[in-house]
Structure 1
């Protein structure tokens, strides 16, 4: 297949809404990041969806494992917290460490780990399961947060002023088994420092066994048909991001567009996959805004 560099240009007219679906955005603005993209996309069937985030959202990176007996309870609680707050808590689960190990035979043969997840897990010094980072903020001297503090730190982050709007648009090309991802970011004020964009892909609703010690939420000690939520599969950008502009510095009210073309692993259920994009401050590593959007594979 022939490839060339194309520049996809957009202009965004923001309104007061925080969610936009099935948008088509085709007026020009400025591009920051372009990948090699097939030159025949305009002639190829595709399905598009988009989401616009104009309120502060929060990222929770959950460190877990299918042999962790307490992880199911905490994961369910985290997703309930997200639902109670209009999904302004974005979650992906990182399977890594001792409790993520697989067996050669038996119920726990499915490997939910990923190179991306292991790299993040190691970056945070291989924390206990279940723990999490929340916007990667330092709380009481640690970026790794225990479950009893998840609500507290989430509410603290959610109350912060929103400093960036994001629009994510996914276009799925079934003939190419690939998704075109466009991330448009507008900073609402001038901010010091340099900023990076991270784009991840997670697979939701993976049915596989999970250890569990709480009979109030499901079977014990083995929950064989457990619904694993948003398992981190891969990083589409470098794991810890790439500059959102050429040098990472930003100007308020500019629209910065980063475009990526990605082929999900055929072993994943693409219709259950979510693109998760977030902005981090290079020096502190803190996440200042997050957006999540599923891949629409049919009309």
Structure 2
């Protein structure tokens, strides 16, 4: 079983980044994949010109891949930013301006998962105030996701790489999932289970799967250490994916790893083409 029994999607915001954005869906298709996912691709703008949205939509549709996941605007990724929705002032305003834009774009491509990164703690700002702002904005995002028939994903990152991000454990992220669902009554907030981030936090991955598979709306993977392709580190990813399947998770598994010092097209040798 393992990878051969999974629905795999390629994150083209961390893989194929040596190519222009509009060429990445075709590169993923050429590598044998039928689905891609994206961080918000315009870090300079939560509300890009319609022509930029149209060009990306065309690039995805022309090669026949499915868009399986999209992040809401989250600032500079990769980089020091880790979300905007809990940041007071201009950044949370930018997040709010992006919510319907991102949802409409995702909906136009049949994408049914939208990820909202929580945001870093800010010096001199009351964490409780940030949490209240986050919940308000997550309610807004959940309603936009519901409008297009999508789930809202809440992700735990890892403390070593994101020390100011407050959701650095599975229980912390799932706690926000529960709060959003309680606030909206929609039930469409779900946990994004990123096995790399959770392993970096030292969590018992088998226990996380057993406890939270039923609340999981998307899974992402990379090996640890190094955030490389499966087999470059020590995580038993095959076994963990088998456990997820047995626990009832049948959604997408996003390949969100770094290709290393080689073209991304060469970073899939670990996976037989017929399993992609």
More helix by share: 2
Q: TM-score, normalised by structure 1?
A: 0.27
- Structure with greater strand share of residues: 1
- Structure scoring higher RCO (CA < 8 A, sep ≥ 6) equals 1
TM-score (norm 2): 0.29
